[in-house]
Amino acid sequence: MVLRVTKPEHVYHFTCAHSRKDIGTSNCLLLPHLHPWLGVKLIWLTSEASPDRRKTGLTMDHQSCDRMAFRYIVSDVENCRPWLDSSERATLGADQLDAFEDGGEAAPDQWWISSQPLRARFDRSWSDKPVPNSSVWP
């Protein structure tokens, strides 16, 4: 599949409190993490500044973490690739792909990936609420 997708000016990385702790809030560098199904390390990104939780695949169905608690903005989009056009997506079987993209409920056209570390800016305007310090910590 070859798509002609206009690369957005910014992409966004949403994450939970645990990952925010790792990434930090200044001089931020996002690092690719191993995806168990794909067997490769990727950073997951979205073109949407304020995505729908379900469409962007960040529901809390499988974990208690709020994976949309924090937002990072990536302006260096050179190494970012659209998920739909990726070789990684092509490795998934039909059933896996269906599960991955939530049986059509997700909006994978909004998904972007990077295999390279990305500089990012922590967006304080997204979450002015205090960091939860409760039982979600491992």
| Count of C-beta atoms within a 10 Å radius of residue 36 | 6
Q: Does 30 bind Zn ion (CB under 5 A)?
A: no
* Contacts of 48-52 spanning 24+ positions with Cβ under 8 A: 48/12, 48/110, 49/10, 49/12, 51/12, 51/14, 51/107, 51/110, 52/107
Among 42, 45, 65, 107, binds Zn ion (CB under 5 A): 65
Q: Is 13 left (phi over 0), alpha (psi -120 to 50) or beta?
A: beta
Rounded CA-CA distance 41/38 in Å is 8
**Which of 22, 109 has the CB closer to Zn ion?**
22
Among 12, 13, 14, 16, binds Zn ion (CB under 5 A): 16
Q: Does 80 bind Zn ion (CB under 5 A)?
A: no
Rounded CA-CA distance 99/20 in Å is 27
**Which of 8, 51 has the CB closer to Zn ion?**
51
Of the candidate spans 15-23, 24-32, 54-62, 92-100, the one that interacts with Zn ion by CB under 5 A turns out to be 15-23
**Which of 18, 53 has the CB closer to Zn ion?**
18
**Which of 12, 86 has the CB closer to Zn ion?**
12
**Which of 16, 120 has the CB closer to Zn ion?**
16
| Count of C-beta atoms within a 10 Å radius of residue 89 | 18
Residues lying near Zn ion in the complex (CB under 5 A) are found at 16, 18, 65
